[in-house]
Amino acid sequence: MVALTGGRESRCHGCMSNTPVIEVERLNLTYGDFHAVKDLSFEVRRGELYALLGTNGAGKTSTLETIEGHRRPTSGAVRVFGRSPQDRRAVRPRMGVMLQESGFSPDLTVRESVGLVGRLSRRTDDVDRLLDLVDLTDRAGRKVSQLSGGEKRRLDFATAVYGTPELIFLDEPTTGLDIQSRDAVWETVDRVRENGATIVLTTHYLEEAQQRADRIGLMHQGTFHREGTVSELTRTLPAVIRFSLPAPAPSLPLQAVVDADGKVMVETFALQEDLHLLLRWAQEHSVELRGLEAGATRLDDVFRAISS
């Protein structure tokens, strides 16, 4: 049975539930006078891939680090598996963390680094299998200081999925990776999701979130600007049809504006119907719609709308 969520096919086969793995209630974080996170509330359910996105300085990292237990809330509550994230002994063996920056000792080898973090996380796994998974087998005996940026990200990813934890935080997991490595990372994420893992993702690659997230929290200035599935977020903005018209042209059947490039722009919440209407009008009046472009609203458009 394949679960359908928000118009996209979930990779989690029948394992998503409404049980919250993460509960954030009225979270506030301040640094001196700066209010980084304001009254933020949300839940992440078991088995889902939740993407926390936002503009620079929106409060994503502060929120994520509070959930991971690296910071204490100024006010409000955060629970992971029903417990405080500060309760490391209870919570950490069940969660894997991929930090935004590497955080490995440069003098340890790749194998030693994976083994150390794995052991300290109180999970068990085969280090060789993991190194093979992230294509670092031939680097196993090298010091971390000798790795490239992309190889360090892969090493970080290997420690996050060590022992297949129930909850995995992926902070910019594919930044600096080539296309093959990105694909390998997402393949592994799909695999751990098949085992029921819950993923919390932050990324600047919006297409990755659009393709993979079950739900998205879009942060701006310390709080959620919007939250929901991709289709729920994108349906709040109109789709756009663009074309050029030869002059003179009969009046259009739809409301339109002319943009700075002289192109006609039609904004619509009923893309299919309006596109059909426009094409029929063009045929009836023998008008060529030059450079016709029409596309559904993308996450990038929503993102640009909140940051503008």
Partner 1 sequence: MLSIASSELIQIFRNRLVLITSFIIPVAICVFFVRQHETFATILSLGYIAAIVMFTAAAFGLYATAVTTLASRRQNLFLKRLRSTAVDDAGILAGLLLPVVVLALVQMTAILTALAVVAGGPANVVLLVVAVLATLAMMIGLALATAGLTNSPEHAQVTTLPVTVGVIAVATWVGVSGTEDLTLLKRLLPGGSATELTMNAWNGGVAVTESLALLAPTLGWVVVAVALATRLFRWEPRR
Q: Which residues bind partner 1 (CB under 8 A)?
A: 68-70, 88-89, 92-93, 97, 99, 101-108, 112, 116-117, 119-122, 143
Strands (E), the chain: 4-5, 8-9, 20-31, 34-45, 49-54, 75-80, 95-98, 167-171, 198-202, 215-220, 223-228, 239-244, 257-258, 264-268, 290-295
Using CA atoms, how far apart are residues 117 and 159, in angstroms rounded to an integer? 6
Q: How far is the CB of 96 from partner 1 (least distance, A)?
A: 9
Task: State which residue, 105 or 211, has the beta carbon closest to partner 1.
Answer: 105
> Which residues, in sequence order, are CB contacts of 146 under 8 Å at separation 6+?
139
Q: How far is the CB of 153 from partner 1 (least distance, A)?
A: 14
Using CA atoms, how far apart are residues 239 and 267, in angstroms rounded to an integer? 6
| CB-based contact 216:228 (threshold 8 Å) | yes
Q: How far is the CB of 120 from partner 1 (least distance, A)?
A: 4
Using CA atoms, how far apart are residues 23 and 291, in angstroms rounded to an integer? 48
Question: CA torsion sign, 156 to 161 to 163 to 166?
Answer: positive
Task: State which residue, 46 or 92, has the beta carbon closest to partner 1.
Answer: 92
Using CA atoms, how far apart are residues 203 and 257, in angstroms rounded to an integer? 34
Task: State which residue, 61 or 234, has the beta carbon closest to partner 1.
Answer: 61
Phi/psi at 101 (5° precision): -120, 155
Pairing of strands 198-202, 49-54: parallel
Q: How far is the CB of 203 from partner 1 (least distance, A)?
A: 19
Task: State which residue, 16 or 173, has the beta carbon closest to partner 1.
Answer: 173
Burial class (CB in 10 A: 0-12, 13-18, 19+), 165: buried
Q: How far is the CB of 112 from partner 1 (least distance, A)?
A: 7
Task: State which residue, 161 or 302, has the beta carbon closest to partner 1.
Answer: 161
Task: State which residue, 159 or 203, has the beta carbon closest to partner 1.
Answer: 159
Using CA atoms, how far apart are residues 26 and 76, in angstroms rounded to an integer? 5
Buried b (16+ CB within 10 A) or exposed e, 202-216: bbeebebbbebbbbb
Q: How far is the CB of 104 from partner 1 (least distance, A)?
A: 7
Q: How far is the CB of 247 from partner 1 (least distance, A)?
A: 56
Pairing of strands 49-54, 223-228: unpaired
Task: State which residue, 58 or 271, has the beta carbon closest to partner 1.
Answer: 58
Q: How far is the CB of 303 from partner 1 (least distance, A)?
A: 24
Task: State which residue, 87 or 178, has the beta carbon closest to partner 1.
Answer: 87
Using CA atoms, how far apart are residues 112 and 185, in angstroms rounded to an integer? 21
